[in-house]
Homo-oligomer: A and B are copies of this chain.
């Protein structure tokens, strides 16, 4: 009845944050099979507390993925009207890869296919990427046949590539981002084969 605002959110907020952090770490280490029990232990809370905050494992994953989309959307927005459109796109890709470098969680996206909240955040980010690419294309900074969706699918590539060597240094992804960025440039570009993918 007297729900009032929400007073003692102190520990609850702390727990939620601890859970998200623990979950990211566990998923990064163990993959999709990371168990809710291990996540709870890592966050130093009881099993039941995980489910109080995230009713299902999917909901927890959705919170993680959605959070990352939101953070990247803010990055993209901040770059959306930078004077050098080509540099803005590169900066965006650098920030995106840098964020993944610690924990590559891109594989979590497959689980969130059916989640409309995540889908909305994903579409929002995609639109920003499309905008960054359009500006870079108009400025002649990237090849003319490149679409926002092309860039979208390549966002995770630099970090993902580093997963194939034993001990990737913390900055190894920068090499592969550089290669891909060079591949996006108009200079000496061979025409891209096939039609661009449609979104969604």
**Is A185 in contact with chain B by the CB < 8 A criterion?**
yes
**Is A114 in contact with chain B by the CB < 8 A criterion?**
no
**Is A183 in contact with chain B by the CB < 8 A criterion?**
yes
**Is A161 in contact with chain B by the CB < 8 A criterion?**
yes
**Is A54 in contact with chain B by the CB < 8 A criterion?**
no
Bitwise interface map of A from 83 to 124 toward B, beta carbon under 8 Å scored 1, else 0: 000000000000000000000001101100000000000000
Question: How many residues on chain A are close to B (CB under 8 Å)?
Answer: 55
Given the known interface contacts A175-B194, A179-B192, A187-B187, the answer about A156 and B149 at a Cβ–Cβ threshold of 8 Å is no
A14 CB to nearest B CB, Å: 11
A-B contact pairs, 26 of them (CB 8 A): A1-B44, A31-B32, A32-B32, A32-B33, A110-B163, A150-B175, A150-B179, A152-B164, A157-B160, A157-B161, A165-B198, A166-B200, A168-B197, A169-B194, A171-B194, A175-B193, A175-B194, A175-B197, A178-B190, A178-B192, A179-B184, A180-B180, A182-B185, A182-B188, A183-B184, A185-B188
